[in-house]
Structure 1
């Protein structure tokens, strides 16, 4: 077992780094989130997930969290899986929250949402250098009443 732990030391630190980001998000402390993003993401992190914001790099990550927390003040991200191979980390989450602020042009509905997302992260020099993500926006919009089923 010690051989396994010692051979995956970098993998463990990558998982820990990403968990720090999610833990910071779950505190809803903007300063802590900002500091953690600066420490864990490279400033010019490349994001391949389409975002409706002009910011890029780590600034975009901060803006995404800020917008989500304004829209869903009780937002919570629960880690379901963290799978690592080499410099890549795959994270599957369940996200919950209550829609109490504007979100994608939609005024607050007071409705609760639960949706899933999966991200693949590439680490370089101990920090997240690139991300790819899939967020179940269709499920969000159905639960918010924008799309009828």
Structure 2
């Protein structure tokens, strides 16, 4: 795959991040329709029975209901061949129900690494590592591990 194609894929991935940071579910949904294949294969367990692009739309709607000020800060983006890898820091304030937990008003910060494979100019497959344990600890759903403290 050409360097130009890797650059194009990286730009499309960036459009998805820009949409996510808009905080607007409709903008995110339209952007998913543009840059993600409808039958995208998502290799990350998600709390939904939906599949493909519909699952991504549902995840973003859930996240924005729970964290209306959600922000994805892109730390690193690497594009090579048909893949784009992105390391992000995600922040937000828990203002709506999330994973069965009522709003706490707590601010959260967690990390994620996402890999997207492109085919025919769209994201066709994804893998993600999201620090859900950190999310749950910050929301008080899981106690802090005393072994994590440096003293």
What are the ranges of 5 or more consecutive residues in structure 2 without an aligned counterpart? Answer: 145-151
CA deviation string 1:106-147 (max 9, x = no partner): 110000000000011100011000001010001111111111
Distance 2:70 2:78 in 1: 23
Instruction: Report the TM-score, using the length of structure 1 for normalisation.
Output: 0.94
Which residues in structure 2 correspond to 1:35-50 (within 5 Å)? 35-50=30-45
**Counterpart of 1:104?**
99
Deviation at 1:48, TM superposition (A): 0.6
What are the ranges of 5 or more consecutive residues in structure 1 without an aligned counterpart? Answer: 1-6
Root-mean-square deviation (Å): 0.8
Distance 1:31 1:141 in 2: 27
**Counterpart of 2:63?**
68
1:28 pairs with 9, 13, 23, which one? Answer: 23
Distance 1:21 1:126 in 2: 13
Which residues in structure 2 correspond to 1:94-133 (within 5 Å)? 94-133=89-128
Distance 2:140 2:24 in 1: 29
Deviating beyond 6 angstroms after TM superposition, the runs of 4 or more aligned structure 1 residues are: none
Distance 2:19 2:128 in 1: 19
Instruction: Report the TM-score, using the length of structure 2 for normalisation.
Output: 0.92
